[in-house]
Structure formats: structure tokens, C-alpha cells
């Protein structure tokens, strides 16, 4: 297989297709599968003069076969023919024609003198083994130096967040820590919502200014400082709350209840740590623990699952009923107390709340870690 690189304008790519010299549908290729938002973002990248990955074409005589770059090519063709607007609702007739068609250049890798089997094998290798950008890597590139992305990176690099050890080195390499910080910032600003949709809308908010970023940073760091103290009490990395869904729930609980004192928060954290090992989707002896676990793994990023997990924390930790076993009004706490063979008399006063005592819970679980 021989190949060489050329630089084309978008106009040349479109003209070759219009002259029926470009086959976008070789048998090994997929059809048009990109969503409209994905297509709009590609056009936006072109208009921002960001470079695109190389297009791989097989030159067969005077004709071309698209080996890799089909979805991008279909998007460019669709926009050039006015089939959809860009992210700012600008269609091709209102676009800078000279820049879009002639000044913007793409890298073309022309494959020559190759057998059909070699082409198919190359396509398979590119799509099977090539390392493609994941969501946080794309966002970092797309929103570099914006107020939100700068804040995300600042928090992710902070000692309070880094010391929690929530991510493996591999996840850090793929910027998953930035992705999660953006999610938590969205939670801090908007409350519990669907994951990707609201985070993406936040990134697209061009009116998010420096003053708002500074205010959000203060609110976020107030919660993070509390979690940092809990981490010193007992390392979060040694608990189930290291997992994204659980940590999100802990963060949302503290965000929703900013008036809790540190002593009560530490007591609540001890309860959560002690029951952590019993939380499982297969925990058939306690429905409350089982349901919480299921909401951590099944559609865990939906607003509904997130609110149900928060409700579990609130019912368990913010109980004001002195006799939940008798009144049967707090079903979550009642279910957990029955599971651990606790009585109403085993509850302790912590401010306004009647909660499970740590000594008693350590005795029944056999986990004497506090």
C-alpha cells in the first residue's frame, strides 16, 4: 500500500463528489449516522478555523473511495447545500463563502496501489484500534480558555480535589476528572439535572462571565472543603463514595443542606461509611439499600435516579421522627433499622435530627473503624 498527503480546499472535495468521482458508500462503510447536533459542531469547528483529522481516500484511477472521513464529508456536503444551519443558526448563504470553500484546508491522505483486502483491513484498524477523542477531550479543545473551562481545570488541579484520589492515572490521562468537575459545577449552579444535556448547555452559555465564575468557585469550594475534612476523617478512596454516582450524591446532599454543622456532617459521614459495604444491587434483605445501589448503576445519570439517591440520604440522615419503627412514616430509615436489628431507642439526637448511633452501628456491623 502506497500513500501520500495533499492539502485540499472544501471546494475541491465538494466538486469531486458532485462530479460523481467520490464514492462515500464502499461496502465496509456505515451510512449517515451522525446526529444533527454533531454535524453543527463540526461546522462550528471549521468556522473557528480548528484543524480536522485527516481524510483517508483510496485513489482508483480517476475516482476516489472514502476510507475514513465519511461522516465529516457528509456533514460538509449537507451544510454546503443548505440542508441545516450551524450552531448559531447561520446557513450557508450567510456564511463567509471564500473562507468556507477556499481558505479552509483539510489534510487528505491518498492511498494508492492497494488491494481491496488491504483497504478493508486499514478501515477496520482505524476504527477498531485508533484512539479517538472522548467527550472531555473534545470539550477541552472546543471550550479552551472559556470562563467555565478555566474554572473546571483550576478546581481539578486544586490540592483539595486532587487529594481525594477519585481517579486512576488512566482516567486522569483521558481527562475524566475534568468531566466530573464540570458535572459537579453544573450541580452547584443548577441543582440536580440530567447529566450531559445540562452540562453541554452550561458550556454553550456565552454569557457566563468572570464574576459568575468567581461566585460559583466560592460556592463549590465551600462544599469541597467540607468533603476534604471528611476525607481526613476517613479516606473516601476506601469507601464506595469514591464512585461517581455516590460522590455526586454526597456532594448534592451537602449542596442542598448548607446549614448543617460540621459535627453533624461528620456523624452522618460515619453512618454512610459503615453501611457502605451492605449497599448492593443484590442486597435482597434490605430494599432501601438495594434500591439505592440500583439507582447508582441503572440510568444513574438521570435526574430521577439522582433525586432518589438524594432522598435516600435525606431520609436516613435528616430524620426528625423519634420513633420511626412505630410510626412507619420514614420507610427508608425503618427498613435500614430492621436490617441492622436496631430499635427506636438506638437513635441519637444530633441537632434537630434523630439518627443512628455510631457505637451501636459499629457493634452490629463489626466495622470498628471510628
Mind listing the pLDDT tens digit for each residue in 182-227?
Answer: 999 999 999 999 888 899 899 999 899 999 999 999 999 999 999 9
Instruction: Round to whole Å and give the CA distance between 356 and 272.
Output: 11
Given a cut of 70, whether residue 250 has pLDDT beyond it is: yes
Domain final residue, candidates 106, 132, 158? 132
Given a cut of 70, whether residue 132 has pLDDT beyond it is: no
* CA distances for 263 relative to 14, 46, 230, 267, angstroms: 67, 54, 11, 6
Asked whether residue 174 falls in the same domain as residue 116, the answer is: no
Question: Is there a domain that residue 39 lies in?
Answer: yes
- Residue 46: CA count within 13 A, CB half-sphere: 30
Question: Is there a domain that residue 370 lies in?
Answer: no
Q: Which residues pair with 58 in a beta bridge?
A: 65, 111
Residue 313: burial class (beta carbons within 10 Å; 0-12, 13-18, 19+) = buried
* Mean pLDDT, the chain, integer: 91
Given a cut of 80, whether residue 107 has pLDDT beyond it is: yes
What is the C-alpha radius of gyration for the chain, rounded to an integer number of angstroms?
Answer: 27
Q: Which residues pair with 349 in a beta bridge?
A: 354
Question: Is there a domain that residue 69 lies in?
Answer: yes
Asked whether residue 128 falls in the same domain as residue 248, the answer is: no
Asked whether residue 322 falls in the same domain as residue 240, the answer is: yes
Asked whether residue 336 falls in the same domain as residue 189, the answer is: yes
Task: Indicate yes or no: pTM above 0.75.
Answer: no
Asked whether residue 102 falls in the same domain as residue 215, the answer is: no
How much of the chain exceeds pLDDT 70, in percent? 95
Instruction: Round to whole Å and give the CA distance between 370 and 196.
Output: 38
* SS3 state at 288: helix
Structural domain including 284 reads: 137-365
Could you tell me where the beta strands, DSSP code E, fall in the chain? 2-9, 22-23, 55-60, 63-68, 105-112, 347-350, 353-356
Domain final residue, candidates 114, 132, 150? 132
Contact 22, 61 (CB under 8 A): no
* SS3 state at 309: helix
Q: pLDDT-based confidence at 175, cuts 50/70/90? A: confident
Asked whether residue 6 falls in the same domain as residue 90, the answer is: yes
Please give the pLDDT value at position 116. Answer: 74
Average pLDDT over residues 123-134: 60
Instruction: Round to whole Å and give the CA distance between 78 and 39.
Output: 9
Asked whether residue 169 falls in the same domain as residue 316, the answer is: yes
Amino acid at each position: 500500500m502506497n500513500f501520500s498527503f495533499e492539502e485540499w480546499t472544501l471546494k475541491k472535495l465538494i466538486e469531486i463528489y458532485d462530479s460523481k468521482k467520490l464514492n462515500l458508500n464502499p461496502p465496509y462503510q456505515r451510512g449517515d449516522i451522525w446526529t444533527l447536533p454533531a454535524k453543527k459542531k463540526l461546522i462550528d469547528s471549521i468556522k473557528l478555523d480548528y484543524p480536522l483529522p485527516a481524510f483517508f481516500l483510496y485513489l482508483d484511477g480517476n475516482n476516489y473511495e472514502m476510507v475514513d472521513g465519511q461522516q465529516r464529508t457528509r456533514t460538509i456536503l449537507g451544510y454546503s447545500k443548505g440542508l441545516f444551519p450551524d450552531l448559531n443558526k447561520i446557513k450557508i448563504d450567510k456564511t463567509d463563502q471564500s473562507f468556507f470553500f477556499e481558505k479552509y484546508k483539510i489534510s487528505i491522505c491518498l492511498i494508492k496501489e492497494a488491494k481491496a483486502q488491504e483497504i478493508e483491513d486499514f478501515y477496520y484498524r482505524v476504527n477498531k484500534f485508533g484512539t479517538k477523542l472522548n467527550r472531555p477531550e473534545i470539550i477541552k479543545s472546543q471550550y479552551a480558555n472559556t470562563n467555565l473551562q478555566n474554572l473546571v481545570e483550576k478546581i481539578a488541579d486544586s490540592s483539595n480535589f486532587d487529594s481525594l484520589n477519585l481517579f486512576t492515572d488512566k482516567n486522569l490521562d483521558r481527562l475524566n476528572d475534568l468531566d466530573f468537575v464540570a458535572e459537579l459545577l453544573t450541580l452547584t449552579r443548577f441543582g440536580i439535572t440530567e447529566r450531559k444535556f445540562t452540562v453541554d448547555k452550561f458550556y454553550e452559555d456565552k454569557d457566563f462571565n468572570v464574576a459568575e465564575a468567581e461566585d460559583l468557585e466560592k460556592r463549590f469550594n465551600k462544599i469541597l472543603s467540607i468533603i476534604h475534612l471528611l476525607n481526613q476523617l476517613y479516606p473516601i478512596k476506601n469507601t464506595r463514595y469514591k464512585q461517581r454516582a455516590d460522590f455526586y450524591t454526597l456532594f448534592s446532599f451537602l449542596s442542598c443542606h448548607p446549614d448543617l454543622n460540621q459535627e453533624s456532617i461528620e456523624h452522618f459521614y460515619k453512618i454512610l461509611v459503615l453501611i457502605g459495604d451492605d449497599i448492593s444491587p443484590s442486597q435482597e434483605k434490605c430494599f432501601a439499600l438495594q434500591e439505592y445501589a440500583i439507582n447508582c448503576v441503572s440510568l444513574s445519570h438521570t435526574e430521577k435516579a439522582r433525586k432518589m439517591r438524594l432522598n435516600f440520604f435525606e431520609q436516613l440522615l435528616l430524620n426528625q421522627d423519634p420513633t420511626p419503627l412505630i410510626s412507619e412514616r420514614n420507610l427508608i430509615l425503618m427498613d435500614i433499622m430492621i436490617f441492622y436489628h436496631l430499635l427506636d431507642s438506638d437513635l441519637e439526637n444530633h441537632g434537630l435530627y434523630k439518627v443512628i448511633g455510631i457505637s451501636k452501628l459499629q457493634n452490629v456491623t463489626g466495622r470498628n473503624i471510628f
